[in-house]
Amino acid sequence: PLVSLGNLQLKAAASHTTMYPGNKRKKLWREEKERLLKMTLEERRKEYLRDYVALKTIPTWMEDLKTKSESDGENTKDDLQGKKSLGEKVSLYRGDITLLEVDAIVNAGRWFNFL
């Protein structure tokens, strides 16, 4: 079986739930975490079993807006100034988020029941 850690999938000898009690599983997880933390980015990438999308390849809002304004021939310098701080920190990605080279993916959605 495979143990999945986001984009990193490791081969496991057997199912952790049937072979190891809770404390041993925690110990194995901590050991694997420490091993991964000690690795360089290139070493970690060698362990990926499939393609990945590096975050540096995804443009920020600011970079995307500049590219669009240049291609449209518009001068949006005033628009860019107000959005600069947030626009340099946020990116939009459309695609399979499980391919992103990130440490975690969090779903913050909520379910509401309406009567």
**Is residue 27 situated within a structural domain?**
yes
Tokens of 63: 């970079």
71 pLDDT band, cuts 50/70/90, is confident
- Domain total in the chain: 1
Residue 106 domain-assigned (yes or no): no
Q: What is the pLDDT of residue 99?
A: 92
Q: Does residue 43 fall inside a structural domain?
A: yes
Give tens-digit pLDDT for 81-115.
Answer: 555 678 888 888 899 998 999 888 887 776 666 55
Provide the residue range defining the domain that includes 62: 22-101
7 part of a folded domain: no
Quick: pLDDT tens for 19-55. Answer: 556 677 777 888 998 998 999 999 999 988 889 999 9
Where residue 49 falls (left for φ over 0; alpha for ψ -120 to 50; beta otherwise) is alpha
Separation of alpha carbons 75 and 100, rounded Å: 33
Q: Is residue 16 part of a domain?
A: no
Give the integer Cα–Cα distance in Å for 26 and 41. Answer: 24
Q: Mean of the pLDDT values across residues 5-30?
A: 62
Q: For residues 33 and 85, give the distance between their C-alpha atoms in angstroms, rounded to a whole number.
A: 33
Asked if residue 110 belongs to a domain, the reply is no
Residues 102/55, Cβ–Cβ less than 8 Å: yes
Question: Hey, what amino acid is at 15?
Answer: S
| Top-confidence residue, 73 or 88 | 88
Domain contains 12? no
Does residue 111 sit within a domain? no
